[in-house]
């Protein structure tokens, strides 16, 4: 299956390479780069929009967040309070995840420690990290990875200590075991139960995808990474939509139309992403293959086209 984020990553990488150059040097740098012409055109359009807009386009698109400094580097082997960090086990858009163990002889426990990734606007992402801590602390559900502890390192890098989930992404778990449709649906119902619980607590995940939906060996589903979730605040007590005005952190292949357009999001955003996950579990592929598309064309396809029914997509691939 084609990586649904490949096209965006190519644009992101080239954008990062030239965005900080003086304006007069960017055209020459783009022309000299060996990236595909379609990628160069997209980056040129993004640069033009950035120069003409009072809003920092790289922040709005989630581009250019990384710098040469990575607070997570050298984390393995360190001690954070009672926790001994052992090894890095994953890395995402918001941070790195490490395996750790309690090392103060009080009791034995294996945990996951999550730290901030390299960032330009560290203050903004630190606020998001603190927000994730508050969100996780409010969520207690058997299908949501629980928060255990949290704090800051000596240099001010925030971290969370979470339940360690030893599992596989839900699509890989199903495919490795060749699970029939009924068993795939049973797992998906666990996902829905967790999301429903979060929504009742006015929390939208915003990045539901297989890598954030893990399944343990005994078939228990665990939702992880509420790093880009945001409390739904409504003065009238309703679950009002929240407009994202900063980083647009999501995975394109699973993103809803309102996400890729940068519009207000609500619980419906997660419902759409759940539909994409279910489509993948049933059909073995995403409803829209946007991996090789430009960002503009990917947005058009997600927003304007209707995918084939999962049964038809599955039969076409058979």
Catalytic residue among 51, 121, 149, 207: 207
CB 39 within 8 A of CB 12: no
Give the C-alpha separation, 153 to 317, whole Å.
Answer: 49
Instruction: Give, for 82, the enclosing helix (H) or strand (E).
Output: none
Q: Measured over all CA atoms, what is the biggest interatomic distance in the chain, rounded to whole angstroms?
A: 61
Listed in sequence order, the DSSP H helices in the chain are: 6-18, 23-32, 37-52, 57-61, 122-138, 170-176, 181-200, 257-260, 267-283, 295-304, 310-317
Do 57 and 50 form a contact (C-beta atoms < 8 A)?
yes
Tell me how far apart the alpha carbons of residues 151 and 130 are, in angstroms, rounded to a whole number: 9
DSSP state of 288: S
Nearest to 199 by CA among 169, 178, 230: 230
| CB burial string 226-235: b at 16+ within 10 A, e below | bbbbbebeee
Return all residues near 129 (Cβ < 8 A) that are at least 6 apart: 94, 95, 116, 158, 160, 227
Contact 237, 218 (CB under 8 A): no
Round to whole Å and give the CA distance between 136 and 150. Answer: 11
The three-state secondary structure class of 238 is: coil
Is residue 207 annotated as part of the catalytic site, yes or no? yes
Nearest-angstrom CA–CA distance, 169 and 151: 28
Q: Is 101 helix (H, G, I), strand (E, B) or coil?
A: strand
Positions marked catalytic: 207
């Amino acid at each position: 299956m084609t990586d649904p984020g490949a096209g965006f990553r190519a644009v992101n990488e080239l954008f990062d390479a030239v965005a900080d150059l003086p304006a007069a040097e960017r055209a020459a740098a783009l022309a000299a780069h060996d990236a595909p012409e379609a990628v160069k055109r997209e980056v040129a359009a993004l640069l033009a929009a950035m120069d003409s807009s009072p809003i920092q386009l790289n922040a709005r698109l989630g581009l250019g967040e990384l710098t040469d400094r990575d607070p997570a580097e050298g984390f393995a082997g360190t001690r954070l309070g009672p926790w001994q960090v052992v090894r890095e086990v994953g890395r995402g858009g918001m941070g790195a995840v490490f395996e750790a163990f309690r090392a103060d002889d009080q009791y034995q426990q294996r945990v996951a420690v999550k730290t901030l990734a390299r960032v330009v606007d560290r203050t903004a992402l630190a606020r998001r990290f603190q927000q994730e801590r508050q969100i996780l602390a409010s969520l207690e559900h058997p299908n949501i990875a629980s928060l255990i502890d949290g704090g800051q390192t000596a240099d001010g890098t925030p971290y969370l200590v979470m339940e360690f989930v030893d599992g596989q992404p839900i699509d890989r778990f199903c495919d490795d075991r060749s699970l029939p449709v009924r068993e795939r649906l049973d797992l998906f119902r666990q996902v829905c139960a967790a999301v429903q619980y979060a929504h009742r607590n006015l929390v939208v995940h915003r990045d539901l995808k297989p890598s954030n939906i893990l399944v343990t060996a005994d078939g228990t589903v665990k939702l992880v990474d509420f790093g880009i979730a945001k409390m739904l605040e409504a003065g009238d007590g309703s679950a009002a939509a929240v407009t994202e005005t900063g980083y647009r952190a999501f995975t394109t292949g699973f993103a809803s139309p309102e996400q890729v357009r940068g519009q207000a999001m609500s619980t419906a955003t997660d419902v759409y992403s759940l539909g994409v996950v279910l489509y993948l579990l049933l059909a073995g592929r995403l409803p829209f293959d946007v991996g090789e598309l430009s960002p503009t064309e990917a947005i058009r396809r997600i927003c304007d086209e209707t995918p084939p029914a999962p049964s038809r997509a599955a039969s076409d691939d058979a």
